[in-house]
């Protein structure tokens, strides 16, 4: 997605060979216009999949998911990272290990919002090692729903998540694929393939 690549080039900050900061449009401040385009792009790619629900993880997955849900006319459910007073009844949960933080967290979704009649599109802001997406997939499995695919705003292709998820048979659609962050520069996968 050209508009997203341009935004990353213009405003992304390479913090290390591993980490890209995009706080000006995705992870802290949010660019609604860009998010609307992101939503249209995901919707276009998954429009024939009969999506009935979008599943994401709080907090940065919510904005792109809501814009996609608007386009696909499907509600958005976000998994919670911490327990909530009102999150009661049947809970679908998964353990998600973060390599960055070196800790395991439980994510949870109420069974009220996901069931075996659903066809689910999983969306997240970043794909690094794929643990968050796998946790979301586990929650969908527990609900009895089907997974139609996984939509990622920014995939860091030099980390293992994309390979892992595709090897498991998931359709993964990433709007920007970063091959390298070495030498302080963002190198997109498409640029080297072309």
The 33-72 site mask, x for binding ligand G4P (CB under 6 A), equals --------------------------xxx-----------
Q: Is 99 in the site for ligand G4P (CB under 6 A)?
A: yes
Which residue from 65, 68, 131, 157 is in contact with ligand G4P, where contact means CB under 6 A? 131
* Residue 19 binding target from ligand G4P, Na ion, none, CB below 5 to 8 Å by type: ligand G4P
**Binding flag, residue 125, Na ion (CB under 5 A):** yes
Distances (CA, A) of 16 to 12, 22, 74, 139: 12, 13, 37, 32
To the nearest whole angstrom, how small is the minimum distance from the Cβ of residue 132 to Na ion? 6
**Among positions 5, 60, 65, 131, the unique one binding Na ion when judged by CB under 5 A:** 60
The answer to whether the CB of 104 falls within 8 A of the CB of 129 is: no
Three-state secondary structure call for residue 178: strand
138 vs 32: CA distance, rounded Å: 30
């Amino acid at each position: 997605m050209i508009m997203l690549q341009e935004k990353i080039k213009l405003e992304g900050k390479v913090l290390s060979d591993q980490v890209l900061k995009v706080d000006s449009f995705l992870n802290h401040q949010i660019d609604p216009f860009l998010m609307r385009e992101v939503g249209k792009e995901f919707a276009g790619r998954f429009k024939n999949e009969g999506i009935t629900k979008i599943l994401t993880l709080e907090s940065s997955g919510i904005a792109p998911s809501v814009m996609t849900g608007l386009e696909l006319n499907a509600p958005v459910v976000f998994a919670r990272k911490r327990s909530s007073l009102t999150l009661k009844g049947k809970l679908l949960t998964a353990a998600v290990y973060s390599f960055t933080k070196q800790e395991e967290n439980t994510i949870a979704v109420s069974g009220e919002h996901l069931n075996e009649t659903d066809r689910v599109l999983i969306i997240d802001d970043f794909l690094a090692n794929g643990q968050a997406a796998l946790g979301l997939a586990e929650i969908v499995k527990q609900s009895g729903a089907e997974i139609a695919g996984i939509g990622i705003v920014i995939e860091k292709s030099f980390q293992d998540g994309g390979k892992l998820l595709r090897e498991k048979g998931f359709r993964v659609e990433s709007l920007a694929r970063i091959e390298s962050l070495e030498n302080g520069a963002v190198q997109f996968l498409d640029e080297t393939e072309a």
